[in-house]
A and B are shown apart, each in its own frame.
Chain A
């Protein structure tokens, strides 16, 4: 039951590995190749399925973003002639590290998406999900064309307008009222925190890069020197080089554990908000159908149809409310658990890295002193 995403580097092809004990699968083990677009397709089909309206649909993984490293690679290629060999090597190293970090991150978010789906009692039985996991050929999902893209955009517009409209509808359930306020508040805060965390980790990476440059520059000075001083400088360069590694790892772990967590929950909360929206929509529909029923009764025609309609809406709304309540509660618990896990992991990693650099620094100070 654990979809395990391994990844081979070829553009962005994910090898999705599935082990399952579920009887609905024909084999206990699968291994298929999927692209990012396949994940998006899966997400979209789930969103469009009416019966999942009462559920928080796991947010789709963000598009893998290799722009940063690619840009750097480009720059590297351009500046290759103007740089010394060492500088080039340093840059390359930097790049590889960054690429690796991005890569790791991308794999992780995709994996999390599948895990979320598989751990949910409803989604795990989804037909499309099974196809996604089982079908060993290329899914070759159609990319969204421009019209659909526009349609999606338009839908979003309508949705946000609708949200404003139905926000006037009086909330009947206190739980949802509370939840709505909380989510609105929380989402803006977490968005903010995410942005800040991103900035923080980025500048942390810059610091690590600077260490790298310093190390290079020290090496350059050392190269021209021929006294005892030279050894010194070389040692220093080495220290900075190592420091860079530690600092870099620190930065990328922070990114992975903290920023990603926040980022993910920004999306997840958006999904929860969507759920609330769907419920509010249903509520508004119900109220409209109530009004229609009243009108129909007044006029004395189409009463049965209106009654039917009203009943349906109420049913739908009740269903949504019920499952939404469940979903939101579990979402809350899940969030706490996730935060706990990530925070602990991050803290441990921070400590580990700091300890590493402490021992590194101590060692090199000893060496320098004894020289």
Chain B
């Protein structure tokens, strides 16, 4: 009579050493390629933000300071992605019996929300500007937007293995207007736009890291997700092009209205492209039946019910733990004289074939 359950309380060190912990995190970050890239990018962004902050304080430029705070905000999204990639590798313990794998999904969700926030703010700012077009100093917009595009291209090269790197330096574009008009409380410094496009990029990257995780694992079986990625890429590309076009329009034709319209368009594009990501992560967080199993499950139920001795199938619950792990529970009502072991193994067989790795089957014997 061997106890098969293991409590790993005993193996935990009694007191946490902060330094040890930090180095452990550091090592685990560097161990994986995605999180390593994410980490470097975060470092780049953070150093940029700090340089901006110190320079802003030194030169007493309010615009630079507030812009650096915006960058910190965007860094939080990156940080969330990084934390998720570390946390999701933690072992499961008594409290978190499934482990921390869901952190990944949660981080994706948070990122999606942040993107939506950003899109909303850009949109409302665009509406304000459309009502009252400010005097934009557009001489610097074109070089800044082209530089943003370049940074994005670098990002794409760095994260090339991930399939796509995506840029919405244009996400920063919305902010960068306000700095060009240099008006009220939220005016930013001159090269803030550049910084913005940086961080817009960074934080998009974190969405990227997330999507990469998914993409690598099961991108081939989930068309909806790859469609979302495609949408994202298209939206970003269009966004960059939009910025450049609006800059050109402003320079050549003095069409000031092009700028707010463009930023509204970009906001809409961001919003639309984020929706699939959000939808998927909400589905997972709400314990939805996995969309990829939608079609397969009725057939499986049918096959289980056809097994000899099975009367009925009750309370089937199937849900996604993290990207590729599906968990299911169901109750079978069987005849009193049925061979439960056979039924159990057959049921497991049937559901394993469609990809449900963890299955709990409760067999209830029908009363005579």
* Physical interaction between A and B: no
Q: Which residues of A contact B (CB under 8 A)?
A: none
